Amino acid sequence: MGSPERTQAMDYTGIDNEAIWNRLGDDHPVVGPVSGATIDRLLRMVELKSDATVLDIGCGLGAWSLRALELHPGSSCVGVDLSAAHIARATREAERRGLADRFSGHAVNARAFTPQDPSDLVMCVGLTEVFGGLDGTLKHLRAQVLPNGYVLLGESFWHRPPNEQTLAALSLDEDPHTDLNGVLEQVTAAGWMPVHAQVSTAEEWDNFLWACVRGLVDWGFNEQDPAARTRILRYTSDYRESWLHNLRGTLGFVLLLLRPVAPSETFLVARRPEWAR
Ligand SMILES: C[S@@+](CC[C@H](N)C(=O)[O-])C[C@H]1O[C@@H](n2cnc3c(N)ncnc32)[C@H](O)[C@@H]1O
């Protein structure tokens, strides 16, 4: 028989995504399977006027917001995130990089945040569940972006169909995702023209997941309270094993650069070639 620490269900209260992401090191400030080079590549594809406005919904630690400000020097950015700790860290980093006068962070629920005006670029990377899924997010974003602006959206999809264990690893009762073509179909049907789609690589996924694991391991090893240490380290192992056995190679992530299309022109976007119908 195993000791209780080995076999019993454990209360993981307080060990959640916010706590894990707050412990990401400065070498991986992106909260997702995305490299710094990918961020630069996508942001350089966006043509912005010199005094452009950027809205980053769910800005996390500010990786996208702050790089947008560096690559588009006359622009200003509003970052919104539910986590006050994330906003505090993004704001500190903006100060460190001399961007504080152009970055304004708001610790609020994005569902309740209504900006005064639409923006030239709206980013929403990794939180479509907040708006009830991809369709709900696309509807929400429509009002936030200028008619000739851009949206940068990050969405999960399945590289291969998930099994029950995969859904359990993500604490999902129902499957909210499709395959990659399914994502593109929803986007075009909702009246958005894809400009670019970039799928996260295996290396980007591994770098992100191991950055999360490193943060958890440091947390556990530095914890003086033996019970807390046990909880954190056991959680860390479950987290790592779920990734290695149930998610790696199955869960995908795509960054989409989109432009809004007027309703009268949606038929130009949401179509298949004659021969493919
Ligand atoms: C996967 S992370 C992505 C962060 C950032 N976009 C990035 O790519 O680095 C999702 C972020 O959404 C934030 N979030 C979750 N629910 C939210 C809500 N209702 N309103 C605002 N932010 C939310 C989380 O705190 C987290 O920072």
What's the pLDDT score for residue 3? 53
* 16, 28, 31, best to mutate for ligand 1 pocket (most atoms within 8 Å of CB): 31
pTM comes to 0.95
Confidence of residue 8 (pLDDT cuts 50, 70, 90): low
* Beta strands 145-158; 119-125: pairing state: parallel
Long-range contact set of residues 38-44: C-beta below 8 Å, sequence gap at least 24:
38/198, 38/200, 38/204, 38/255, 39/63, 39/64, 39/67, 40/67, 40/71, 41/198, 42/152, 42/196, 42/198, 42/255, 42/257, 43/67, 43/68, 43/71, 43/72, 43/152, 44/71
Å from CA of 264 to ligand 1 middle:
33
Q: Which residues contact 155 (CB under 8 A, 6 or more apart)?
A: 128, 134, 183, 253, 254, 256
Å from CA of 4 to ligand 1 middle:
35
User: Above 70 in pLDDT, residue 10?
Assistant: yes
Nearest CA to ligand 1 atom 13: 58
Å from CA of 6 to ligand 1 middle:
33
What's the pLDDT score for residue 91? 98
Q: Average pLDDT in the 57-76 region?
A: 98
What's the pLDDT score for residue 67? 98
User: Above 70 in pLDDT, residue 2?
Assistant: no
What's the pLDDT score for residue 1? 42
Å from CA of 2 to ligand 1 middle:
38
- For residues 1 and 83, the model is more confident at 83
pLDDT by residue (tens digit) across 107-127?
A: 999 999 989 899 999 999 999
Å from CA of 24 to ligand 1 middle:
14
CB 21 within 8 A of CB 89: no
Confidence of residue 51 (pLDDT cuts 50, 70, 90): very high
- In the chain, where are the structural domains located? 28-200+252-259
Nearest CA to ligand 1 atom 27: 60
Atom of ligand 1 nearest to the CA of 80: 21
Domain at 28-200+252-259, CATH class = alpha beta
What's the pLDDT score for residue 13? 87
Across the chain, mean pLDDT equals 94
